[in-house]
Chain A
Amino acid sequence: MIPPVTPKSPKEDFVSAKYSTSPPPTPPSGGWGVITRYFIYDNTFDGLLTCVFDAFNRKEFPDRIVGENTQLPLFTESFTVITDETKSDRVLKALREKISRSALDMLFIDYLSESDDTTIILFRYIRKALTSEFSIEMNFADPDVLELSKIYKKVTREEERMRQFVRFQKTVDGIFFAVMNPIYNVLPLSARFFQNRFADQSWIIYDIRRKYGLYYDLHTVETVQFDHLEIAAETGKLTPEKLDDYELAFQDLWKDYLKAITIQERKNLKLQRQFMPKRFWKYLTEKN
């Protein structure tokens, strides 16, 4: 059980912590003592910011932050954070004064990696950013800053892969449909790109791992969820009767084209896999 905290004005405490000059020490990965302190949050970005607020408020800093319904190990202290928008807004406001817009964007993109390992690094980064006298965002000798920039690269890379490897199939009703299985939750990031590029056709991109998709109806992009999706599990293909008359012909043309453009004398399968990892092949028209 956590000992009850003596009530204090949260505002006062938060402000004093914000202007504290000594940088907080980075705890070792296992925490300082035997007991690891867990914060439990609801997996939202606001929840994470509320964690920051509560931590400063309670003067208790977590060693791990995990989502709800996570099985905690033995010998842990835990505290459940209840997401509160006023709290998260205040942290966001304080953060805006400390770090640049692009660094803030980076935090949000890192958060989309949806991993508890990232969450605690984000927490430490925000804590350092709030308490440091000068901006820490360019200090890549700091392990947390460097790690977040690496995760940022990974997530944006995955988003780029969406742009590269999404393959639309034209359906009878003229909607272009694609299935993807990205390891990070990058669909929100690529919405604008697809909306701009394919502005005169309606399309759906469906994230099969997270079971939601984006639907563009020529005006706006909306989130959609299908209870039952009739696609071939191995290839993501729709059944032929649902496809446009010429769809299969264009798929074949594309396959033929890729075969024809290959230079056999320079064959290098390893290089191909390096650029186009096998995990993407499943839903690529040309690979099945």
Chain B
Amino acid sequence: MNPKIFEKLKTLAEAAKYDVSCASSGTTRNNPVKNLGTAAGWGICHSFTEDGRCVSLLKIMLTNHCIYDCGYCMNRRSNDIPRSTFSVSELVELTIEFYRRNYIEGLFLSSGVVRNADYTMERMVRVAKDLRLVHKYNGYIHLKSIPGASRELITEAGLYADRLSCNIEMPSEASLRIIAPDKNYQSVYRPMHYIQQGFLQSAEDKKKYRHTPRFAPAGQSTQMIIGASPDDDNRILHLANALYQRPAMKRVYYSGYIHLNTYDTRLPALPTPPLVRENRLYQADWLMRFYQFKVDEIVDEKHPNLDLEIDPKLAWALRHPENYPVNINTADYETILRVPGIGVKSANLIISSRRFGRLTSDHLKKMGVVMKRAKYFITCNELQAFTVQEAGSEYIRRALTAPPKKKKDEEQQLIIGFEYDTPRNP
């Protein structure tokens, strides 16, 4: 083993760490001929780093040399950092050996751009091809498609990879032009379009021929940096929504901006990454994908930014108190799903259980409904409670955002020597 590989791994893992995508889901690969590897329908997280992010794939760069000079990126040309490059065989060996030890679920390969987009893309495809054809590796592969890569290479990449991705980086083209002058939306959208076409073509062929090769069966994903440009959440979520309308687009990731290149004055000097905003955007993303919310219901011209204090679902409920309270025992699934504190799982449990008898708040609590929030928005088989109609939106907002109460002992109050209340910590 080449002793330099330790140094290379460190440099190139560090170079790749700002890519958010970690999913190893969305595809099923069985292993009927007893080779190495499978891919389950949902991904498996094998470890978690100290920042709490999961490590599912070996997320790594082929090289961190780059001809571009994007303001947000650590690997930009003008940064003086250690640079190195993996050979195809080194990377293949590393992937296989990590995989055999159950460290990883597969490979996430990205790269800086050397010479030109096609030259880089070709070498990335070679890694995937080697893994699949020479080593008969059957695990997950996620390939980044380099902006500006040609259709032929993307088509080839799709044959070996499970998922392809092309990062849109900035929520508007104007910001992208300022911060990453070497890129434009066209260079991002074109590979995206190729992937989509390959995906649809493969689905079409599947109807005709049973053994048609699969093209990127887990579709594609993309990523936007949050907080590096003045774009508001309205812009971001509408863009995400438009991307989700495309057939092969499975995930849009949001990455809170970290101020790495402190000398670059085009970028805001954020002291900490905007983690709360990022979280709210993911919540809004979930509402669009799993809760049947339309993007206009979450943000619009009047409310261009998500409320950082409360989650977007609660925010919508407080803006529309006329829809509540919801009767748990009669309302349909879609309506129940819109109750703050009830998620997809509890909604399903409610729907299937209420056929056997009326549900009470006690049942709901046991099913995992967050009654702290839900109690203002539901009625069940009980006496009328204090709902949003009586309390008003403003009251609920204050009640739910209030800091947690102090412990009793700290209160300036006379304590008589007996407990009249239930003990706090039984």
Residues of A at the B interface (CB closer than 8 Å) are: 136, 138-143, 146, 160, 163-170, 176, 178, 193, 196-201, 218, 246, 249-250, 252-254, 256-272, 274-276, 284-286
Contacts and interface: CB of A to CB of B under 8 A. Distances in A.
Interface of B: 1, 5-6, 9-11, 13-14, 16-18, 30-31, 34-38, 40, 44-55, 58-59, 94, 97-98, 100-103, 256, 258, 272-273, 275, 349, 352-357, 359, 363, 366-367
A199 B273 contact: no
Contacts of A196: 30-31, 38
Contact of A166 (B9, B97, B102): B102
Contacts of A269: 50, 52
A249 B1 CA distance: 9
A253 B353 contact: no
Contacts of A257: 9-10, 13, 58
B51, B349, B352 pick with most chain A CB within 10 angstroms: B51
B50 A200 contact: no
A146 B47 contact: no
20 contacts: A164-B46, A167-B101, A170-B100, A197-B31, A197-B38, A198-B100, A199-B34, A200-B36, A253-B9, A254-B103, A259-B10, A260-B9, A261-B55, A266-B275, A269-B50, A269-B52, A271-B52, A272-B48, A275-B48, A276-B48
A245 to B, nearest CB: 9
A260 B51 contact: no
Contact of B47 (A200, A250, A264, A284): A284
A256 B6 contact: yes
B101 A263 contact: no
Contacts of A270: 52
A256 B53 CA distance: 16
A146 B45 CA distance: 28
B27 to A, nearest CB: 14
Nearest to A197: B38
Contacts of B13: 256-257, 260-261
A142, A166, A196 pick with most chain B CB within 10 angstroms: A196
* Interface pairs A-B: 10 shortest CB-CB: A271-B52, A260-B13, A199-B34, A139-B356, A268-B52, A266-B51, A140-B353, A138-B352, A262-B49, A276-B48
Contacts of A218: 34
B50 A285 contact: no
Nearest to B46: A164
Contacts of B1: 246, 249
B5 A253 contact: yes
Contact of B6 (A198, A253, A272): A253
A168 B100 contact: yes
B47 A258 contact: yes
B273 A265 contact: yes
B356 A275 contact: no
Contact of A260 (B17, B38, B367): B17
A268 B35 CA distance: 38
A58 B276 CA distance: 62
A204 B134 CA distance: 26
A14 to B, nearest CB: 26
Given A167-B102, A258-B49, A141 B363 contact: yes
A260 B349 contact: no
Contacts of A254: 98, 101, 103
Contacts of A249: 1
Contacts of B52: 266, 268-272, 274-275
A201 B38 contact: no
A266 B273 contact: yes
Contacts of B100: 168, 170, 176, 198, 201
A263 B258 contact: yes
A251 to B, nearest CB: 8
A132 to B, nearest CB: 10
Nearest to B275: A266
A139 B97 CA distance: 47
B97 to A, nearest CB: 5
B48 A263 contact: no
Nearest to A139: B356
Given A201-B100, A260-B13, A266-B51, A141 B44 contact: no
A200 B135 CA distance: 11
A263 B17 contact: yes
A175 to B, nearest CB: 12
Given A138-B352, A170-B101, A260 B14 contact: yes
Contact of B50 (A136, A201, A267): A267
Nearest to B364: A141
Given A196-B31, A268-B50, 20 more contacts: A141-B356, A143-B366, A146-B366, A160-B44, A163-B102, A164-B44, A165-B46, A178-B102, A193-B40, A197-B37, A252-B6, A260-B13, A260-B14, A261-B17, A263-B18, A265-B272, A266-B275, A269-B52, A272-B52, A285-B101
A169 B101 contact: yes
A183 B305 CA distance: 45
Contacts of A164: 44-47
Given A250-B98, A272-B49, A163 B44 contact: yes
Nearest to A169: B101
Nearest to A138: B352
Contacts of B50: 262, 267-269, 272
A176 B5 CA distance: 23
A141, A160, A265 pick with most chain B CB within 10 angstroms: A141
A216 B40 CA distance: 20
B395 to A, nearest CB: 31
Contacts of A266: 51-53, 256, 258, 273, 275
